[in-house]
A and B are shown apart, each in its own frame.
Chain A
Amino acid sequence: MAEPAQPRPLPDPVTAREWLQTMLLIRRFEERAGEMYAKAKVGGFLHLAIGEEAAIVGCARALRDDDYLISTYRSHGHTLARGSDPNAVMAELFGREGGLCRGRGGSMHMFDLEHRFMGGYGIVGGNLPIAAGFGLASDYLGTEDATLCTFGDGAINQGTFGETMNLAALWKLPVVFLVTNNQFGMGTALERHSANTDLQERGQSFGVPGMRCDGMDVLDTHAVCTEALKIAREERQPVLVEAVTYRFRGHSMADPEEYRTKEQVAEWRKRDPIATFADRLQAEGVIKEGDEEQMDADAISVVDASVAFADASPFPSPQSLYDDIYVLGDQLQGWYSVDERGAGVSRGEHLGK
C-alpha cells in the first residue's frame, strides 16, 4: 500500500467544506445506486467509485469552469463533481427520459455538455484519443481551456495510451492524463497486468512527464492536478498524473472479489478519503462536532430526492427510439435510418423531425 502524502495545507473553510460535501454526495449516491441495482431499478453494468472520491473531487476541483473533464464508465462521481444535477444522474441510471442522456447511455455513458463533463466511455482506453482531440480544438481555436482525462490502471496497457501520449506531446496539447490507479483492472492486479508498475513513469519515453499523487487525499490530488494543469495550460505540455487509490467495492455489481483478500480491503479502508478529510477538518476547526453528520444527512436527502425524481421520470417513449442518431437538418429521421423492421419502408414520417 502506498504511503500517505505529506499533509498539504487546507483551502479556505468554505472550499474545504464544499469538497467534503461533494465527496459525501458521491459516496451516498454510489451506495444508493448499488441498492437500486439490487432492486433492479438500474440495469446493465454498474461500476461504483466508492473509495475513489478524493481522486475524483481532487482533480475536478483543480479545473476551471471552461476546462473539459472526460472519464470512463466509472464516472457518476465525476459528473456529479462537475455540477450535474443528481436527479438527472440517477434518472439516467434508471433509464428515464429525465436522465442526463435521456436514458440512451446509462451508467457507463454519462455526459453533461453544460458542465463540460465530456463523457463516460465504455471502451477501456477509448477516451484517450478523444481527450487529445479536445486539446487539439482548444489549441487550434486559441482558447485557454485545458482537458483532464481520467482512465484506469488497466487502460494504460491499451494501444491508445502510447499513441495518445506521443501525439499529445508531439503537438503540445494542453491535456492532463490522470491514471486512476485503483490497483486492479477488473480482477487483474496491477503487478499482474503491468511489467512496469510505476505508472506515472509510463509517459516519459513519449515526452510526457509524470507526477504522482495520493489519490486517497483530496488535498494532495488537488495540489498535484493543479500543478499539472498549470503546466499543460501554460507550457503546452501534456502531463501524466498517477492517482494512487483503491476501490472499496467490487469492479461492478457482479464481482465476488476472489482476487483480493478481505484484509487488504480493510487496510485500505482505514485510509477512507472521506473520514480522513473530515477528521482533518475537525482537527483544524473548520468543522465542529456534528457538522459532518449534518453534511451527510444533507447528502442523503439529495440522494433521496434523486431517487424520487428518477422514479417519477417517465421511460423514453417508443417514438423517440430514433432520436438523435443524426443531426437531421431538413431531413426526416427515416431518411438516414430506414426502419426495416416492419412491412413497408418507413421513412420516419410517423416520427416527424
Chain B
Amino acid sequence: MSTTTKRTREALNDALREEMQRDENVLLMGEDIGVFNGAFKVTNGLLKEFGEKRVRDTPISENTIVGMGVGAAMTGLRPVVELMTINFSLLAMDQIVNHAASIRYMFGGQVKVPLVVRMPQGAGHQLGPTHSHSWEALYLHAPGLLVAVPSTPADAKGLLKSAIRDDNPVIFIEHEYLYGQRGEVPDDPDYTVDFGKAAIRREGTDVTVVGISRMAVTAARAAETLASEHGISAEVIDPRTLRPLDLDTILASVRKTNRCLIVEEGWPHGGVGANLAALIQEQAFDWLDAPIGRVTGADVPMPYSKPLEQIAFPHEPQVVEAVRALFGE
C-alpha cells in the first residue's frame, strides 16, 4: 500500500474532500470553515473546490448549527459540523445529547441521524480554562453517540471517512497539538479505519499502557524511555474509538502483562480511565498483579501561566514514573 507523509490537518482535509467527492449529500457547516479556511485550516481550500452550497460558513450559534445538522441528517443529508473547539461544544450539549444521541431511540428506530460533529481539544497553548479542556469522557458517557479520538494522521483520515459513512451520530475529537504532526497516510481513496478496533502502537510484555487521544503519543514516547532506561517492556494501546470500545484487545494485553496504566488528558473524576479501570477490574481481576494506575489531567480548571499549565496535563516523565510505581519502583 503506497503512502505519503502528511500532517494530521492535511489528512483530515483529504478525508473531507474524498468523502464530498464520493457522496454529494455530504456537506460541511461551521464557524469560519469557508472564507477563513478553518480556525485550524482543516477545511483549507474546500469552499473554493465545492462552493457555498456544500461548505457553509455559519454564525456563532453552536447549539443551532448542530441542531440543523441533526435535522438535515434526519431528512437525507450527511452533514459534517465543525465546532471551532470542543469547549464550545458545551453550548451544543442539548442538541448533541438530548437530540442527536436520543432521537433514533426515542422515536422507536424510525429515523437515523448520520451526523458528524468534529472538533479539536487539548491543553498546551496557554489559553486558560475556557479553551483548553478535554471532553471525551463527556461524550463517551452518552449512549447513542459514537466517539473517535484519533492520534495519528492515518487514523485521523481513516476514522473520519468511516465516521462520515456511518449512519450514527459521531463525535469526532481531534487534538490541537496533533494537527501539525506528520505521519504516513495511505494513498488509497478507499482506505478507512473501522470503529471499535484498537491499535497496538508498541508490543510489550511487562505492562499495558492505554493512551487516549494525544496521550497515545505521549505514552508511546514514555514506553521508549521505559525500555531504554528502566528495562520495562510496555505494550502501548491506542483505542482510537471510545464508543465502540475494543475492550477485547485491552483485556488480552492485560492478561498478558498483568499490569495496566491508563493515560488521558482530561480530568480524573468520571474520566475515561475511571471507566476503563472499572471494566478491566471486572473482567480481568485475577490477572492483575497491581492496582490499575491512571495518569490524568490535574483536577483544576486549566491555568494560563505556562509553568502551571505544563504541570496540569500529563507528560512523558509522569507516565514513566506511574509505570514504575506499578512495579514498586
A residues sitting closer than 8 Å to B (CB atoms) are 68, 99-105, 109, 111-113, 118-119, 121-123, 126, 128-138, 140-141, 159-160, 163-164, 166-167, 170-171, 323-327, 329, 331, 335-338, 340, 343-345
Contact = CB atoms under 8 A, between A and B. Distances in A.
Contact of B245 (A103, A131, A338): A338
A112 to B, nearest CB: 8
Nearest to A335: B244
B100 to A, nearest CB: 10
Contact of A327 (B65, B67, B112): B112
A137 B279 contact: no
Given A68-B75, A326-B168, A344-B282, 7 more contacts: A109-B107, A126-B99, A132-B71, A137-B72, A323-B109, A331-B196, A335-B196
A327 B95 CA distance: 19
Interface stretch (B55-63, B148-156, B180-188, B216-224): B55-63
Contacts, number: 163
Interface string B98-112: 110001111111111
A51 B30 CA distance: 41
B281 to A, nearest CB: 12
A130 B95 CA distance: 9
B200 interface: no
B247 interface: yes
Interface string B62-94: 011111111111111101000000000000001
B189 interface: no
B279 A141 contact: no
A344 B283 contact: yes
A327 B64 contact: no
B60 to A, nearest CB: 9
B146 interface: yes
A325 B104 CA distance: 6
Given A129-B95, A167-B59, A111 B247 contact: no
Given A167-B61, A327-B168, A338 B66 contact: no
Contacts of A111: 106-108, 110-111
Chain A's interface: helix, strand, loop or mixed, by majority? loop
B65 A167 contact: yes
Contacts of B53: 140
A170 B59 CA distance: 9
A141 B77 CA distance: 8
A166 B64 CA distance: 10
Contacts of A340: 278-279, 282
Contacts of B243: 336
Nearest to A344: B283
A1 B66 CA distance: 38
B144 interface: yes
A112 B53 CA distance: 30
B305 to A, nearest CB: 33
Q: Tell which of B67, B75, B196 has the most Cβ of chain A within 10 Å.
A: B75
Contacts of B109: 102, 323-324
B207 interface: no
A325 B143 contact: yes
A99 B64 contact: no
B29 to A, nearest CB: 9
12 contacts: A101-B106, A104-B106, A111-B106, A119-B107, A126-B99, A129-B67, A135-B71, A138-B75, A160-B63, A167-B59, A329-B167, A337-B143
A148 to B, nearest CB: 13
User: Interface size class for chain B?
Assistant: 35 or more
A126 B98 contact: yes
Contacts of B99: 121, 123, 126, 130
Contacts of B75: 68, 118, 133-134, 137-138
Contacts of A141: 25, 76-77
B263 interface: no
B301 to A, nearest CB: 24
A326 B167 CA distance: 8
B104 A167 contact: no
Contact of A345 (B61, B104, B167, B279): B279
B27 interface: yes
B98 A123 contact: yes
Given A325-B105, A327-B167, A136 B144 contact: no
A341 B279 CA distance: 11
A138 B25 CA distance: 12
A104 B77 contact: no
A129 B70 contact: yes
A167 B110 contact: no
Nearest to B60: A163
Nearest to B67: A129
B279 A132 contact: no
Contacts of A133: 67-75, 79
Contact of B59 (A109, A160, A166, A324): A166
Interface string B274-286: 0000110011000
Contacts of B61: 163, 166-167
B104 A101 contact: no
B108 A324 contact: yes
Contacts of A338: 245, 247, 279
Q: Tell which of B56, B67, B114 has the most Cβ of chain A within 10 Å.
A: B67
A112 B108 CA distance: 10
B68 A129 contact: yes
B89 to A, nearest CB: 14
Given A105-B106, A105-B108, A167-B59, A131 B71 contact: yes
Contacts of B282: 340, 343-345
Contacts of B68: 129-130, 132-133, 136, 167
Contacts of B283: 344-345
Contacts of B67: 126, 128-130, 132-133, 160, 164
B76 A137 contact: yes
A118 B95 CA distance: 16
A202 to B, nearest CB: 16
Nearest to A70: B71
Given A132-B67, A134-B72, A99 B108 contact: yes
